[in-house]
């Protein structure tokens, strides 16, 4: 059974593991240079840790500007979209979070995301394609999902933890570059020890990058489930979010635009969407039980259940920031069935489905 406390524990454990990989990289690097090249760098460990946190702080502080620039955000004037403004205010009040600043992304694909350094400085960005292609109940469900991210402090957490794989990647790439351009040289004191230490440090950095990136993506997927569950509670209409996810997935799957660098922030990931849709279409004949050329609601539900249980899809999902649409919709349908028999009085009642 899940709860918000479990989410907080999940966040804490994952952050410890992610930052643990960073400290392992620093410790291994200093040990390698000590043993292989006779360079006593242990005194530099506090400095390396300090610089790592400086980098994390810079990423956290500058990320809102980068996101706003990359998304070409347009900020509507007050009263320009009264329904959108009032809906966000109502959802924020229910979640007991500050009302986020609204922004419109001039993008025809259906999507939305929230970002910011803190809850009080958050911005909720909505794609034009979302407002154009989804009805009001579906848009409301998507907005509640994003408000759920604010309630769970996802923006801050994900911005901080995602810095660790970047640091490891930069170290690995820098040391491999040094090896490539200076591989023929040898340190006089340590013979080829320095070159070996550099190579082994680079390898360690790539391993840390891989492990920490997997942990970040796992935490990201978990948070999407929690935001979905919160939306179902907040709107008391899980079918609206399920319908919205279906439309978002289809819309993203047929988009010819290159995936945006902001896709990890969004409610839907174009790469995951294309994979989910192609999986169903590749097995359409198998799922079309009445052979009428169209997958009805029951056939689609069976298809989703089978795809969600696929071992290959589970492995592929390890390398994604978003869960498969099938699994998200299946969870929402479970919540909907529960709502048919009892009222979910608090978010904790709905988090048990995560």
Residue 2: the pLDDT is 58
Residue 127: the pLDDT is 96
Distance (Å) of CA 222 to CA 10, 65, 195: 9, 26, 41
CB 302 within 8 A of CB 308: no
Residue 294: the pLDDT is 55
CB 36 within 8 A of CB 84: no
CB 346 within 8 A of CB 230: no
Residue 275: the pLDDT is 78
Cβ-proximal residues to 307 (8 Å cutoff; 6+ apart), any chain: 276, 279, 280, 313, 324, 326
State both tokens at 23: 């400290």
Cβ-proximal residues to 47 (8 Å cutoff; 6+ apart), any chain: none
Residues of the chain with pLDDT under 50: 1, 184-190
Residue 189: the pLDDT is 47
Residue 240: the pLDDT is 95
* Angle separating helix axes 325-341 and 270-282, nearest 10 degrees: 80
Residue 283: the pLDDT is 65
Of the CA atoms within 13 Å of residue 246, those in its CB half-sphere come to 17
Residue 288: the pLDDT is 59
Residue 187: the pLDDT is 47
Task: State the CB neighbour count (10 A cutoff) for residue 157.
Answer: 19
Distance (Å) of CA 237 to CA 245, 336, 338: 13, 7, 12
Nearest to 239 by CA among 334, 113, 342, 351: 334
Strands 123-127 and 101-105: parallel
C-alpha gyration radius of the chain: 23
Strand arrangement of the beta sheet that strand 123-127 belongs to: 101-105, 123-127, 112-115
Cβ-proximal residues to 92 (8 Å cutoff; 6+ apart), any chain: 98, 99, 100, 147, 150
d(C-alpha 258, C-alpha 70), whole Å: 13
Q: Which of 34, 80, 138, 146 is catalytic?
A: 146
d(C-alpha 327, C-alpha 334), whole Å: 11
Residue 31: the pLDDT is 86
Render the burial of 187-219: b for 16+ CB within 10 Å, e for the rest: beebeebbbbbbbbbbebbbbbbebbbebbbbb
- Known catalytic membership, residue 146: yes
Residue 188: the pLDDT is 46
CB 200 within 8 A of CB 36: yes
């Amino acid at each position: 059974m899940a709860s918000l406390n479990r989410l907080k524990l999940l966040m804490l454990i994952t952050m410890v593991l992610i930052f643990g990989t960073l400290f392992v990289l620093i410790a291994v690097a200093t040990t390698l240079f000590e043993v292989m090249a006779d360079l006593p760098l242990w005194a530099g460990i506090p400095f390396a840790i300090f610089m790592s946190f400086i980098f994390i702080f810079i990423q956290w502080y500058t990320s809102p500007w980068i996101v706003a620039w990359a998304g070409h955000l347009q900020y509507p004037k007050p009263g320009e979209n009264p329904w959108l403004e009032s809906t966000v205010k109502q959802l924020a009040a229910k979640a007991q979070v500050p009302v986020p600043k609204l922004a419109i992304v001039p993008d025809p694909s259906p999507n939305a995301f929230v970002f910011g350094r803190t809850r009080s400085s958050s911005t909720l960005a909505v794609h034009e394609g979302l407002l154009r292609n989804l009805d009001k109940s579906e848009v409301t469900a998507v907005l509640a999902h994003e408000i759920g991210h604010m309630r769970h402090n996802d923006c801050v957490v994900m911005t901080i933890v995602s810095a660790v794989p970047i640091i490891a990647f930069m170290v690995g790439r820098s040391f491999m570059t040094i090896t490539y351009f200076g591989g023929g040289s040898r340190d006089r004191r340590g013979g080829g020890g320095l070159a070996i230490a550099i190579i082994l440090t680079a390898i360690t950095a790539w391993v840390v990058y891989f492990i920490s990136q997997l942990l970040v993506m796992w935490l990201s997927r978990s948070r999407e489930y929690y935001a979905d569950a919160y939306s179902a509670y907040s709107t008391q209409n899980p079918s609206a979010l399920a319908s919205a996810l279906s439309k978002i997935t289809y819309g993203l799957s047929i988009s010819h635009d290159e995936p945006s660098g902001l896709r990890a922030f969004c409610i839907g990931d174009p790469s995951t969407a294309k994979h989910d849709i192609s999986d169903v279409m590749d097995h359409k004949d198998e799922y079309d039980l009445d052979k009428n050329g169209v997958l009805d609601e029951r056939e689609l539900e069976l298809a989703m259940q089978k795809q969600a249980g696929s071992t290959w899809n589970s492995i592929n999902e390890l390398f994604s920031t978003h869960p498969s649409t099938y699994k998200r919709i299946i969870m929402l349908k479970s919540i909907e069935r529960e709502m048919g028999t009892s009222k979910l009085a608090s978010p904790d009642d709905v988090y048990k489905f995560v």
